[in-house]
Amino acid sequence: MTDFFVSTGWLAEHLDDPGLSVVDGSWYLPAQGRDARAEYEAGHIPRAVFFDQDVVVAPGSTLPHTLPPPEVFATFAGSMGIGRDDTIVVYDGPGLFSAPRVWWMFRIMGAKDVRILEGGIDRWKREGRFVTDKPTKVAPCLFEVAFDPGRVASLDEMRRVVETGTAQVADARPAGRFEGVDPEPRAGVRGGHMPGARNVPALSLGRDGRLLPPDELRAAFETAGIDLTKPVVTSCGSGVTAAVLVLALETLGHADTRLYDGSWTEWGGRPDTPVATGKA
């Protein structure tokens, strides 16, 4: 068991610590009706920098949120004043939606101590803690990247997984989209799921801005048909909430976990990939 969270009380107590980086990793679907950057500019946790998940991406990619090459990520991180040896605390609005994606990115790029703020800035504000609209001043630094490519799955690798069953696929999208009943939010993307995939909706794994207790987490994966003793690849719409599943699996001590970065936008947006509908 590993706990990747810090409490609002802990962060408030340690805001002045040297070597602490606070990162607003908020990103929202259009249906959520929230503007991440506007909320950051209106009031953010002191010392927080804004990590724009629509900008820190692979240059020229036609897919949303594509993981940038290591050297590109290092440039972004360094410009935000974040070092690989920092204690990095990431937050979003509700606490367990987009922050895990930033947590995952920093970790696979070599950061050693990355945490998520439980309850996010929504809880921080409800508790009456201080926020500021003043820009965070940072001193650019060198982020010494140490990329782990084994934690990311490509389209070709996913084709092999689907064809051979060498790993399980856990899909984090809501059930309606997984089953092909509800439309995808992006034009030109088919409904349904990869043959053999199992549905573990990301929003079902949290409560009050943090993960469910371990026994409930295990039950959620096992009920979905995921064997926690075998390899798992996580997927979602564009690679954001798939990281919630990675977070849950690693919290349970599951080490053989990869994230399909292209996720359903890539798979469902192609004419040459097999698609299944209905319940798994």
Active site residues: 236
How many Å apart are CA 227 and CA 273, to the nearest integer? 25
Sorted by sequence, the CB contacts under 8 Å of residue 115 that are 6+ apart come out as: 4, 5, 6, 87, 88, 89, 90, 103
Sorted by sequence, the CB contacts under 8 Å of residue 41 that are 6+ apart come out as: 133
Sorted by sequence, the CB contacts under 8 Å of residue 255 that are 6+ apart come out as: none
φ, ψ of residue 249 to 5 degrees: the values are -65, -45
Query: Among 138, 134, 118, 135, which Cα is nearest to 126's?
Result: 118
Sorted by sequence, the CB contacts under 8 Å of residue 78 that are 6+ apart come out as: 140, 141, 142, 143
How many Å apart are CA 237 and CA 208, to the nearest integer? 23
Which two structure tokens, joined as six digits, stand for 128? 């009456």
